[in-house]
Amino acid sequence: MKSWMLAVIVACNVQLVHKSKSSQINYHKSMFTVFSTPSFAGRMPLSTNCILSPYSEVTKRLLADSSVNCQVQNHVHKSSYTEQTWHKTKINPVLRYFRTLKWTPIPLGLGFAYIAYQQFRHVKKRENAKLTSSSNPSDLLASNVYVSMYTMLPLRAVSRFWGWMNTFEVPQPIRTPLLNLFISMYGCNIKEAIVDDVKQYRSLGEFFSRQLKKETRPVHPGKCLVSPSDGQILHFGKIENGLIEQVKGITYSLKSFLGLDSLSNSSEELSVTDEKYEKSVLKNKDNDLYHCVIYLAPGDYHKFHSPAEWSVNSRKHFHGELLSVRPGIVNWISGLFAINERVVYTGEWHHGYFSLTAVGATNVGSIKVYFDETLQTNRKKCMKGTYEDRQFSPAVSITGKGQPFGEFNLGSTIVLVFEAPKDIHFNVAAGQKIKYGELISFCNSTSSNT
């Protein structure tokens, strides 16, 4: 009778717990071993309920004993493993350091940006080596592949972040050392400012747009052209055949820079040549077109002023890239000023056509013009290569040279394109440092002293 009961219990429990054939054999052996021990018989007597129920007392007892044994074995294994690991970590400080590190996912775009930046640095070093060994300007220009790699960098997002940083109020404890560091790095003369105490500037933007003492920037008198800002003269001269000279031997199109807004017939605009466009801009056919490019370094005074007495008729805002406009990059990328985002203000002065263009750059996505409150540059949703046009009616009249015009977030570039008689004289030299209000050019027919 006892053997029959054992057979039924074994059959029920094997069917419930173990499925494979090999596990059934092991289970049979364990069951007979358990029932054969006197301690088990005294601890848990058999009954009919135990035999017939699939969740019998015997099953529960067996499962409890097996789980306890497994838990004890796992605890011993984990304890020994933990002690060995702790011993190794305690002996090896390098391993202890690496165990404290945590893996953090890096955005895919940031990784591509880093790769593009490293490749750009490599290319720039190679181009600098070429610059010292070649005398042909065209050999020093970047290829389209290199320019495309440069434009892949998230320069617009970086510029928007820098624009936010400019408005961020610097905490008082670090305000003085931070601004003093910037002043020492770029050679700013804080004594020229009306407020020469750096603690009074709550943000970088307030420091960059600080007001200067009038006696530090006297404006040259007479009907002449003065510098609109502090900076460096990159290039100047006559515009020939509708082409502006960017550097010696390298030109870019006046038509692409200013836009086709001077011709009324749209069908003619598509087929107009650079030379024809230049002639259409001139108000007086006996005059010529000239240009002057002023580069504002980060340490320069960031506001710009009107270079002459003139009236502003229209504004054209070109959406484009925000590449650096440092002289080294200007010499490397052809047509850089026609690629970057820019705001072109056109009108007339006493010699005829006149335009002032504020060119955007890396970290200089924000361009502010005081009389044009609707202007918003470096927007997130805009199509590169397109432009927005605005007509001022009535025209904005600027009655004095040196009148405040606008400001940059950081150093950038201003391009003047103007009509003047053939007897014009430039009072500047390429590479010369200049301050706003200083003389750029005058004509003998209208002397600068009149």
pLDDT tens-digit series, residues 340-384: 999 999 999 999 999 999 998 887 768 899 999 999 888 877 787
How many whole angstroms from its chain centre is CA 99?
35
Task: Choose from 16-20, 61-65, 84-88, 309-313 the range with maximum mean pLDDT.
Answer: 309-313
Supply 270's token pair.
């598509």
Residue 58 reports pLDDT greater than 60: no
Q: Which residues are catalytic?
A: 230, 305, 412
The larger pLDDT score, comparing residue 439 to residue 130, is at 439
- Residue 37 pLDDT greater than 50, yes or no: no
**Percent of the chain with pLDDT strictly greater than 90:** 31
Check residue 88 and give its pLDDT. 58
Tell me if 184 sits within 8 A of 407, measured CB to CB: no
Six token digits for residue 220: 């040259």
To the nearest whole number, what is the mean pLDDT of the chain?
77
Report yes or no: 356 and 228 within 8 Å, Cβ to Cβ.
Answer: yes
pLDDT at 235 over 60: yes
Whether residue 72 has pLDDT greater than 80: no
pLDDT at residue 313 in the model: 95
Q: Which residue, 447, 429, 417, is CA-closest to 234?
A: 429
Q: Is the pLDDT of residue 140 over 50?
A: yes
Find where tokens 């805002």 sit.
317
What per-residue confidence (pLDDT) applies to 49?
Answer: 40
pLDDT digits (tens, 9 = 90+) for 196-219: 888 899 888 888 888 899 899 999
Instruction: Indicate whether 94 pLDDT > 80.
Output: no
- Cα(56)–Cα(62) distance, rounded to whole angstroms? 10
Asked whether the whole model's pTM tops 0.85, one would answer no
